Amino acid sequence: MQKNEQISALILAGGRGSRMGHVDKGLQPFQGATMVAHVLERLAPQVGAIAINANQNLARYEAFGVPVWPDETTGFAGPLAGLEAGMRHCATPYMVTAPCDSPFLPRDLAARLFHALQSQRADVALAVTQEVGMRKQPHPVFCLVKTRLLQVLSSYLAEGGRKMDGWYADLKVAEVQFDDNDAFRNINTLDELHSLDTARAPKRLHDVTSCLSGYDPDALPVRDAQRIIREFVSPIASIEKVALRAALDRVLARDITSPISVPAHDNSAMDGFALRGADLRADGPTTLKVVDTVYAGRPSGATPAAGECVRIMTGGVMPAGCDSVVPQEFVARIGEADITVDAGVIRVGDNRRFAGEDLMAGSAALKKGRIIRPADLGLLASLGIAEVPVQRRLRVAFFSTGDELRSIGEPLDAGCVYDSNRYTLYGMLQRLGCDIIDMGVVKDDPQALEEALRNACENADAIVTSGGVSVGAADYTRDIMARLGDVTFWKIGMRPGRPLAFGKINSNGHSAFLFGLPGNPVAVMVSFYFFARAALLYMMGADAPLPLLKVKSAAAIRKKTGRTEYQRGILAHDANGGQHVSITGSQGSGILRSMSEANCMVVLHDEQGNVAAGDLVDVMLFEGLV
């Protein structure tokens, strides 16, 4: 659904919550977030801007990264007071409203109301529903209004009017019928809130896997595993505002709309002379009189007449009437006050940068879900934006399992190995921008494993483990995970990294998504990149798909159809400057050195067979991968 930049949204959270025990309804927890967070998530993609009307807990509402406007009418006037405050502050010609206690509102609410308003040439559009055998039910708190009607509403309130459907009695109203009655229900009591939270509980793994035909956990294709994970995990809803410099590598939580045009004025793209294009002769040199000089940041009040020009520096505001700039190296000076321009040196309009050429005021500068890069910092700075709304950092706990593992600095007994997986996981999670909790090595002991999982669950949004999920793993691993939550064990059609555990566990009112990776070092990295990475980014609200390049294979590669293979590769240039990829050598899942030598991963999909030299293959570069 494309957002409409002409519409702002206002969430009505200014009530007294009398039917909910005088608690702030919008801030009540619901399905892992607050009710107002659910409303924000549904409304934000539909409109150009969004704000909240609230009269208490203002700081908590401001933490969502949107403006908060209290009632300005004296005396409690219900939702109409919030509507009036919104219309006073709204900068767009239209405003749509929705209450904070309707977390299931339609995702096409603004678009359908706007279409009805325009097509019926109405002043107000509102949602209506109709149950079988019942009369139409209007929902005036779900409405779209023209903000120029503020005076009509203010006069109604000044005369003592308080009915939500009373202020537009003399206006033209368009009714839009929606089929989903539940989308417009208000949650008015705590009991109702709790019952709905249970009734619309998050999906179980079975709900997702049952949608796949031929689902077999012991022979699961890579694509199906990725799809199940994506459909089962859910994003975190917490937002915070940070200073511009602290926003680097964070995930943008709201669309950024440009408050100004960049550049603000037509200006010169280089040092030279600003002139009127109509003065340029096509049949010979043009002589112009220089009447003023314009520097960047110091506009001129001069308006050159025919036959005149202005000396101008790069970034200088174009004088009135001038539409072109001739670079200074292309002119001949005749004394101090005149220049000559040869025919054909420039065309009309050359070297002029238009106001808003980079960004127009009101246009989208950056989209929600973007991972903020250095260029974005500069863009935001050019707009004068000092604070940026970003997603809270995802908290991820990780640990390794196995009696044979030793941490660096411990003596290496016979049959033991140093734990390398925690360091590769640390690096990959650090690059994702997560807040990470390193829980060390957990021994092969049921009590220790359960304690570690519970501790991780109570302190993190996600848990990543390595080891303990293969066929030979102790049975208690499955028993513990099944007791703590909804976890499945897969054998995936891939090489390396066949075993994988995935699900969600719970402990003392907390929950976390679990990614149980294999124990072999290369398999850990492959499984993380192609399963856990996308899920963690989705939880962070980030839009960062895995980049794959098409590159020629330098040599033949043996490959069986029916499984996905990930082979370590080295991307290089040939003598002609073209790119090709070659395999590092032995592809054993325990050879971590090969991952260090490689600069990419060659992805050979299920349906692919043997690769011939010169064939194109998909390649994932390691450098720059978050």
DSSP string for 480-536: HHHHHEEEEEEEBSEES--EEEEEEEEETTEEEEEEEE-SSHHHHHHHIIIIIHHHH
Task: Using the structure block, give the residue that is written with the tokens 């050979």.
Answer: 604
Tokens of 47: 């409109």
277 carries a ligand binding annotation: no
d(CA 203, CA 262): 46
- The answer to whether 544 touches 607, Cβ cutoff 8 Å, is no
Tokens of 516: 């149980």
- The answer to whether 439 touches 397, Cβ cutoff 8 Å, is yes
Give strand ranges (E) for 538-583.
Answer: 549-553, 564-573, 579-583
Q: 225: helix, coil or strand?
A: helix
Backbone angles phi, psi at 352, to 5 degrees: -115, 125
- The answer to whether 313 touches 294, Cβ cutoff 8 Å, is yes
Cβ neighbour number for residue 309 with a 10 Å cutoff: 28
- The answer to whether 501 touches 469, Cβ cutoff 8 Å, is yes
180 carries a ligand binding annotation: no
d(CA 535, CA 550): 24
- The answer to whether 197 touches 31, Cβ cutoff 8 Å, is yes
HSE-up of 138 (CA within 13 Å, CB side)?
Answer: 12
For 151, residues 6+ apart whose C-beta sits below 8 A from its C-beta are: none
* Ramachandran category for residue 369: left, alpha or beta (phi over 0 → left; psi -120 to 50 → alpha): left
d(CA 575, CA 572): 10
Q: 442: helix, coil or strand?
A: strand
504 carries a ligand binding annotation: no
Look up residue 286 and give its DSSP letter.
E
165 carries a ligand binding annotation: no
Using H for helix, E for strand and C for coil, what is the string for 410-424? CCCCCCCEECCHHHH
Helix (H) / strand (E) containing 81: helix 78-89
- The sign of the CA dihedral 367, 371, 375, 381 is positive
DSSP string for 167-182: TTTTS-EEEEE-S-GG
For 80, residues 6+ apart whose C-beta sits below 8 A from its C-beta are: 73, 153, 156, 157, 161, 162, 164, 167
- The answer to whether 51 touches 45, Cβ cutoff 8 Å, is no
d(CA 495, CA 523): 8
* Ramachandran category for residue 72: left, alpha or beta (phi over 0 → left; psi -120 to 50 → alpha): alpha
Task: Using the structure block, give the residue that is written with the tokens 């009591």.
Answer: 189
101 carries a ligand binding annotation: yes
Instruction: List, as residue ranges, the binding site.
Output: 12-14, 25, 53, 71, 101
Instruction: List, as residue ranges, the binding site for Mg(2+).
Output: 101
Instruction: List, as residue ranges, the binding site for GTP.
Output: 12-14, 25, 53, 71, 101
